[in-house]
Structure 1
């Protein structure tokens, strides 16, 4: 690109460039965000200029000759602006699209570079700092499908019939608790509670169960969620899935392990 092409913005906006110079400037515009921004800022000025009353402006000129030249210029601007307006807008739109695509591409590449592909890491290389992803719920998720991350346990409560699988994964910041719940019918409001070795309890997660339930004939897939706690794994005795009624009373549906 040349310095002269940067000076063509106003001329192009006024529509006074010939076809060859206009085409050359449009090629330059695609690669020059500065000119694209300047062109966009000039378009309102050109619109205002095209609406100027040339006769009234000429009347204020001291020199009749200069006034006639100005009137002729404004009239030419009106005609050229109407003819070139669509072309300018298309060129500006094309430049904006190109810049947007380049920006999105740069962000995508940066994200790929900054974020490692954790899905391809074997279990032995899981990060100790971030949450591990849940497996796809195939064959019941934690109930015969892909196991949950970490140390896993599963059980079915003989009274409620609710089944649960839990994976405990130690982290630098505490413990990731991944869990899958099946054969649970709604509507219900539920929560996951971690019971400490000292007998105290901590609520880790809450959710609702709709009419279809989870792990039921109406919705065969289990509910799979992830919770995080500052508790070290050694301080967690077990977890409970509890239901909560409108009065705040709770009922344990299943305990793991």
Structure 2
């Protein structure tokens, strides 16, 4: 396969439509082509949106089906409800801050138990030496994920995988590790799973080598 054809396979690889042999050849190319690695990362949000659409669409629905006349109204109503809920949470937080400020020292603050609070977990693998930190926050569609990782082993394409409590796996984000770069790198992604549905996160290379596991509390 010529170099130009490999560049053109970025979208097909990101969407998972290459066969096993083609994907293997493209991953070899990916290890030597920072431009393609960056393009694969850029396709991440599109891939996740298509996956969410596939999960939420019944099999009998034609993929090009047009939305019904009431869909826009329902979407607008859903957005309005979420905005009202966020405004209420903000007002509660401001009210709590005022109470604390007026009450002075010695006031014990109780956790609200809001399941939208961000969750942070980090780990270092003794074998690979890779350190990673995952910060997740629930959203209506699943969860928003931020990954920070240090990997000085050399240039290689990597993935953050969310493993559900039911064993299902989902690629949250992909990136190209730098050549012996020990600096902290930050990526963002999204998952169709909510925080309480995730059993663990795993950082793996594109060829499946396990680098580090992060288990939420």
TM-score class normalised by the smaller sequence: 0.3 to 0.5
TM-score (norm 1): 0.37
TM-score (norm 2): 0.44
Question: Which structure is higher in RCO with an 8 Å CA cutoff and minimum separation 6?
Answer: 2
Which structure has the larger Rg?
1
